[in-house]
Amino acid sequence: MAATTHRRRTRDAPDTAEAFARLAALPAGPERDRLRQEVTLAWLPLAERVSLRFRSSGESPADLRQVAALGLVNAVDRYDPGLGHAFETFAVPTIMGELRRHIRDHAWAVHIPRRDQELRTAVRCAQALLGPRGRDPADPRHLAELAAVSGLSEDEVRRGLAAEGVHRTVSLDQPPPGAGELPLAETLGRTDGALELVVDRQSLKPLLSALPERERYVLYWRFFGNLTQKQIGARLGVSQMQISRILSRTCARLRRELLAPAGSPG
């Protein structure tokens, strides 16, 4: 039996059976806290090893180690040596559970329902089992294969595949594949705010043409020539106050005619 125990023991699985027995018997206080810390530090390499299983999750190694250490502390506090189980067999599932919860709640760039996260995991496992055949979502035949391997319906497989794209987002400053050095932001279209004004501008053209010449000049110099009312008045030989009245009267007329129902008199 001693030989078997020696073969199973690894560098990150120290012999702390005696320490856990003492820990269970000690009352709360400085001595128990010190022993608890020693036991936790002795098992910390195990927690770090378990965290490596999640290195492809998108979380930083430092964050994973921190979460694994938290899981280890929970395992130390909850472990009961009187049940006769080795600490490692209790600690590993506890640490992995803590890591899975952290990734489920924090590692997604866009938060999606938990069911979709579970579907993504199931689909990824099925893809790994199928190998290259399971990694071409463009081929409809693979939906049936993924569904058969994962035990999901084809609709659930589609949801799992769609969830893959929201686990990590792509920076707008990063060039997309095949675009050379052009950032992604430069390849995306955007709504032109001026499009919303096209109908109004086209409707306004005949109304502007129907204005007296002086009113048209005043509007043009004010809104396109960027002249002040005083400068416009100097050009026309009138006061700034008169130009202000012309602008107010003309704009009110245009607004009224533009909003008037079709066929009604202006």
CATH number at residue 216: 1.10.10.10
79: confidence class by pLDDT, cuts 50, 70, 90: very high
Query: 101 and 6, same structural domain?
Result: yes
Query: 201 and 148, same structural domain?
Result: no
More confident residue, 133 or 113: 113
Query: 66 and 9, same structural domain?
Result: yes
Query: 129 and 59, same structural domain?
Result: no
Q: 12 in a domain, yes or no? A: yes
More confident residue, 242 or 203: 242
Q: 158 in a domain, yes or no? A: yes
Distance CA 37, CA 27 (A): 15
What element of type H or E holds 58? none
139 secondary structure, DSSP code: S
Domain residues for the domain of 88 are 2-106
Residue type, 93: P
Looking at residue 152, its pLDDT comes to: 87
Query: 89 and 126, same structural domain?
Result: no
Q: 191 in a domain, yes or no? A: no
Query: 78 and 152, same structural domain?
Result: no
CATH of the domain at 9: 1.10.1740.10
Query: 124 and 60, same structural domain?
Result: no
Q: 226 in a domain, yes or no? A: yes
Question: How do residues 163-195 score in pLDDT, each as one tens digit?
Answer: 776 656 666 777 766 666 777 777 776 777 677
* 35, 18 contact by CB (below 8 A): no
Question: How do residues 87-128 score in pLDDT, each as one tens digit?
Answer: 999 999 999 999 888 877 766 656 667 787 778 778 877 877
| Buried/exposed code over 188-227 (b: 16+ C-beta within 10 A; e: otherwise) | eeeeeeeeeeeeeeeeeeeeeeeeeeebebbbebbeeeeb
Query: 100 and 74, same structural domain?
Result: yes
Query: 44 and 102, same structural domain?
Result: yes
- How many domains does the chain contain in total? 3
